Structure 1
Amino acid sequence: MVLGADADRVIHALRQIKSVLRNKVAEAALDLSDSMNMICRMAFPRASRVIVRFHLQRLALGAVREIRIRHCRDAINTDTDARENAKLEVCRYESLRLENGDTMKVLPAYALFRFPEKWIASLRQRADMLFRLYPDLKEAYRLSQNFRNIFNKRSTKDSDGLNLARWYNRIADSGFKSFNTIAAIFYEHSDEILNFFDNRSTNASAESINSKIKAFRVKLNGVNDTKFLIFRLCNIYA
């Protein structure tokens, strides 16, 4: 176990392992951290580096969320200005309501992060109204779902790479600035992203145990005795 996430310290610790053993590592699943990428490149030079799909999908959903928040903020500002004008004109103001009774300020977030086939009737109605009011949000949602489908579909690496290239082009044509981050990652780490389609490897198990350890530390209100913490973790989660 290495204290902290400093790349040089982790590389130094991993190099205590014989190079013959480190060279046997065939594949390493990574997140989007540059330091983790460097650690893998220096400590396991023969390993195929794979950027896990879930980190990319989270960025795509984050881009959709950013567009939703912007529209929600605009609706709140518009409603606030209308209220202030009504006060100045000494007249009663009522917020514009949609056919289901919601105001323009209430933009459903839940529907944007699920597949359409999993929407219930009321959620589908709210999503339809949302997309009718904001066509750009509908297009952003469609792009995020297309991105998910590329990773969910079982196909050859060449075919999936072609689908990702087409999706990248649609992102460029859409003009959405919220997707700039994921577009830059595609440009910089295209090989690591495409390596996912070789074995579809993930680091889900590592992320799971990491979240459990964090939750365990929160319950303890911090840790004073690190050795005893490791002892308890080994007994509980090993």
Structure 2
Amino acid sequence: MSRKLRLQVKEITLDMAGSMRLIAKRCFPFATQVIDRFHVQKLAIEALQEIRIKHRWEAIDQENERIIECKSTGNPLLLESFENGDTRKQLLARSRYLLYKSREKWSETQRQRAQILFSQYPDLEKAYFITDRLRKIYNQDITKSVAMTKLAHWFKEVEEVDFKSFNTLTKTVMNHYRDILNYFDNRSTNASAESFNAKIKNFRLQLRGVKDRTFFLFRLSKLFA
């Protein structure tokens, strides 16, 4: 793309990588930079999953200790199970995907599992609520000023629960605050580019690497153009 055309670009969506910001600034100096909502929400979900994983490792340790104890005493191994049939370790492992979804999209099985999970781990329920609150802010058709107010309330909720992973998330959001808020001007997203990039990665994985780059690009153009 010629410099004349690049100077006409008004908005560009990108992730939070510093290298991407520098490239965007150099190639599109007059464009407003927008942090894609996908990358912000992904960080929030990863912070939530980190808490779940921590509890899962604790459950695995407890089960291993129980097995060792039963072997040493010769008693039969009786593992704790909940009303849906999950053991504690299974409950934490199988709850992974329901934590990605909003409550409205849970199946009946996931709803029952979530109820058990949150009764056993109240901190996970609080973390899920915070993650869901961020999702709902993005889903609302609001102006930048309203979004700024709602994010301020969200920051306060994160401070109150004081989870380490979420405190790291808020620091990251604050470092990119202006570009994140720019999303609410036109609600621009690079979801289509991310989807296409995922297709390319999957195609490359099937080929087990690329030796002839020219032929690889030719095949891409024939398959996806």
Which of 145, 151, 159 is residue 158 of structure 1 equivalent to? 145
CA displacement, residues 111-148 of structure 1 (integer Å, 9 cap, x when unaligned):
21111112222221111010000000000000110010
CA displacement, residues 4-59 of structure 1 (integer Å, 9 cap, x when unaligned):
xxxxxxxxxx7xx32x3222110010012110011111221211000000111111
Q: CA deviation at 1:82?
A: 2.1
Count of paired positions = 222
Q: CA deviation at 1:180?
A: 3.0
Which of 188, 197, 205 is residue 201 of structure 1 equivalent to? 188
Tell me the C-alpha RMSD between the 2 structures: 1.5
Q: TM-score, normalised by structure 2?
A: 0.93
Q: Where does residue 70 of structure 1 map in the other structure?
A: 54
Percent of aligned positions that are identical = 44
Looking at structure 2, the residues matched to 126 and 95 of structure 1 have their Cα atoms a distance apart, in angstroms, of 18
Q: Where does residue 91 of structure 1 map in the other structure?
A: 75
Q: TM-score, normalised by structure 1?
A: 0.88
Looking at structure 2, the residues matched to 73 and 219 of structure 1 have their Cα atoms a distance apart, in angstroms, of 33
Whichever residue aligns with residue 169 of structure 1, its letter is K
Whichever residue aligns with residue 100 of structure 1, its letter is N
Q: For structure 2, which runs of at least 5 residues remain unmatched after alignment?
A: none
CA displacement, residues 140-197 of structure 1 (integer Å, 9 cap, x when unaligned):
0001100100000111111011101111121122111111332121111100000000
Q: Is the 8 A contact 2:16 2:176 kept in 1?
A: no
**1:199 to 1:105, Cα distance in 2 relative to 1, 3 A:** same
Q: List structure 1 segments (4+ residues) > 6 angstroms apart after TM superposition.
A: none
Whichever residue aligns with residue 35 of structure 1, its letter is S
Q: For structure 1, which runs of at least 5 residues remain unmatched after alignment?
A: 1-13
Looking at structure 2, the residues matched to 222 and 101 of structure 1 have their Cα atoms a distance apart, in angstroms, of 43
Q: Where does residue 114 of structure 2 map in the other structure?
A: 127
Whether 1:146 and 2:130 are equivalent positions in the alignment is no
Which of 115, 124, 145 is residue 137 of structure 1 equivalent to? 124
